[in-house]
């Protein structure tokens, strides 16, 4: 007589689990979750793991939020404050195209013009009345050079996203957490008005209504519980099912560094990270990519792959990770060798996962650029060759 199927058995065989089952799994040990998540990944994606060769454009690090774990944000006059001039943007985009990149990641702080008059004056000097005006101009430059824009500009309005959609193959906003508790006094989001879960979930919902292919994710190790991680993943899943627009979900670990309000704070354990990755793979529907940045996991890609990821996200041969500058991107040739040794094939992709390259999510003006970048990235050998020469330089 065969034993009854457990929830993990059912998930491995393709059955989605309801919210209560996922919340129960949040409290389960990592071992069984990891094995099941890897099986789900193998069934849904096979043994190819992808990445997007990108240039990271930190358009401005001015931000009105003050998250306790952030070393990126600045106020005017702070050491390390910057806003990229148009000439800098053009220079980085040109280098990125020469180095074989396919994605231009436009990343910046939340609503800087609402907080800083000097930034508004700087934008006016560039010839723009708003940050979104500037992002439109940057995206147009990127497309002209054969790079696909992906904008992560914090919380945007519906009208902002509608303006950016014809020029961006995807957009993003990390949910980070759905916990209101983390917004209370003494918690990491207390001084960050744009990190209120309802506000961020509303933007993700509006993006779906507009047909914007979307990237979101959770942060691990900022004081949340395992149940709260599950609740965040379920909130993402609900919006993904409503609109079908969430093409990838990032599981990103907190990394301590001097200068942040939380310092010194412990990094999440490896067990916590792989547990969160596995839980994401089990909670999210099969077509949604689960991504984890390899530079934040001490180059132990085996643990991430073993827990069910199918994507490493953006990796840049030309620019650092400005959010986590102490953590360098892995060299692509070395990463490819390590993946091969683990039984996986590393492959480049565009900023938009192929399943979402359809009229519902891609403006007609982006169809030709998207196809051109996809053709160019099919010849990835130059990227690997460059990374190899960098590693031995």
Please tell me the total count of domains within the chain. Answer: 1
The pLDDT of residue 6: 95
The pLDDT of residue 388: 37
Per the structure, the complete domain to which residue 355 belongs is given by 7-52+168-392
The three-state secondary structure class of 48 is: strand
pLDDT in tens, the chain (393 residues): 567 899 999 999 999 999 999 999 999 999 999 999 999 999 999 999 999 999 999 999 999 999 999 999 999 999 999 999 999 999 999 999 999 999 999 999 999 999 999 999 999 999 999 999 999 999 999 999 999 999 999 999 999 999 999 999 999 999 999 999 999 999 999 999 999 999 999 999 999 999 999 999 999 999 999 999 999 999 999 999 999 999 999 999 999 999 999 999 999 999 999 999 999 999 999 999 999 999 998 668 999 999 999 999 999 999 999 999 999 999 999 999 999 999 999 999 999 999 999 999 999 999 999 999 999 998 544 444 444 333 333
The pLDDT of residue 303: 96
Query: Is 255 inside a domain boundary?
Result: yes
Query: Is 232 inside a domain boundary?
Result: yes
pTM of the model as a whole:
0.95
The pLDDT of residue 3: 76
346 in Cβ contact with 335 (< 8 Å):
yes
- Render 146-189 in DSSP notation, one character per residue: T-EEEEE-SS--HHHHHHHGGG-SEEE---B---GGGGSTTSTT
47 in Cβ contact with 344 (< 8 Å):
yes
Query: Is 147 inside a domain boundary?
Result: no
C-alpha closest to that of 311 among 341, 334, 287, 333: 287
The pLDDT of residue 299: 62
CA 343 to the chain's CA centroid? 25
- CATH number of residue 364's parent domain: 3.20.20.70
Query: Is 48 inside a domain boundary?
Result: yes
Q: DSSP class of residue 290?
A: E
The pLDDT of residue 385: 40
Residue 105's contacts (CB-CB under 8 Å, 6 or more residues apart) are 54, 55, 56, 57, 150, 152, 314, 351
Query: Is 60 inside a domain boundary?
Result: no
Rounded to 10°, the helix 226-243/197-210 angle is 20
Q: Measure the CA–CA gap between 329 and 95, rounded to whole angstroms.
A: 17
Query: Is 78 inside a domain boundary?
Result: no
- Render 181-223 in DSSP notation, one character per residue: GGGSTTSTTTT-GGG-HHHHHHHHHHHHHHT--EEEEEEESSS
The pLDDT of residue 1: 52
75 in Cβ contact with 81 (< 8 Å):
yes
Query: Is 194 inside a domain boundary?
Result: yes
334 in Cβ contact with 391 (< 8 Å):
yes
Q: Measure the CA–CA gap between 156 and 138, rounded to whole angstroms.
A: 17
Query: Is 354 inside a domain boundary?
Result: yes
């Amino acid at each position: 007589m065969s034993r009854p199927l457990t929830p993990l058995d059912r998930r491995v065989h393709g059955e989605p689990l309801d919210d209560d089952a996922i919340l129960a799994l949040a409290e389960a040990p990592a071992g069984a979750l990891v094995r099941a998540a890897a099986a789900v990944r193998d069934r849904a994606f096979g043994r190819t793991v992808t990445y997007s060769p990108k240039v990271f454009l930190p358009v401005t690090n001015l931000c009105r939020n003050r998250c306790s774990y952030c070393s990126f944000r600045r106020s005017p006059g702070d050491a390390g404050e910057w806003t990229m001039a148009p000439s800098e943007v053009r220079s980085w985009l040109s280098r990125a195209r020469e180095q074989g990149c396919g994605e231009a990641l436009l990343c910046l702080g939340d609503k800087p013009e609402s907080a800083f008059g000097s930034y508004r004056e700087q934008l006016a000097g560039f010839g723009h009345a708003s940050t979104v005006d500037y992002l439109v101009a940057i995206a147009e430059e990127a497309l002209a050079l054969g790079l696909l824009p992906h904008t992560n500009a914090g919380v945007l309005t519906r009208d902002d996203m509608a303006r950016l959609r014809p020029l961006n193959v995807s957009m993003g906003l990390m949910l980070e957490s759905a916990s209101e508790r983390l917004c209370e006094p003494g918690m990491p989001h207390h001084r960050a008005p744009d990190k209120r879960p309802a506000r961020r979930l509303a933007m993700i919902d509006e993006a779906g209504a507009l047909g914007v292919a979307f990237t979101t994710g959770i942060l691990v190790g900022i004081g949340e519980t395992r149940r709260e991680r599950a609740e965040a993943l379920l909130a993402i899943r609900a919006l993904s099912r409503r609109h079908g627009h969430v093409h990838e979900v990032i599981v990103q670990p907190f990394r301590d560094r001097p200068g942040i309000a939380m310092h010194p704070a412990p990094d999440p354990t490896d067990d916590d990270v792989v547990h969160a990755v596995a839980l994401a793979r089990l909670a999210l529907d099969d077509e949604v990519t689960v991504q984890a940045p390899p530079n934040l996991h001490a180059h132990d890609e085996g643990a991430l792959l073993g827990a069910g990821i199918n994507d490493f996200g953006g990796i840049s041969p030309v620019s650092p990770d400005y959010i986590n500058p102490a953590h360098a991107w892995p060299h692509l040739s070395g990463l490819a060798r390590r993946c091969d040794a683990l039984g996986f094939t590393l492959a480049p992709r565009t900023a938009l996962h192929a399943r979402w390259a359809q009229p519902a999510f891609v403006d007609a003006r982006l169809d030709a650029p998207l196809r051109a970048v996809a053709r160019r990235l099919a010849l990835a050998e130059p990227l690997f060759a460059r990374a190899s020469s960098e590693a031995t330089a």
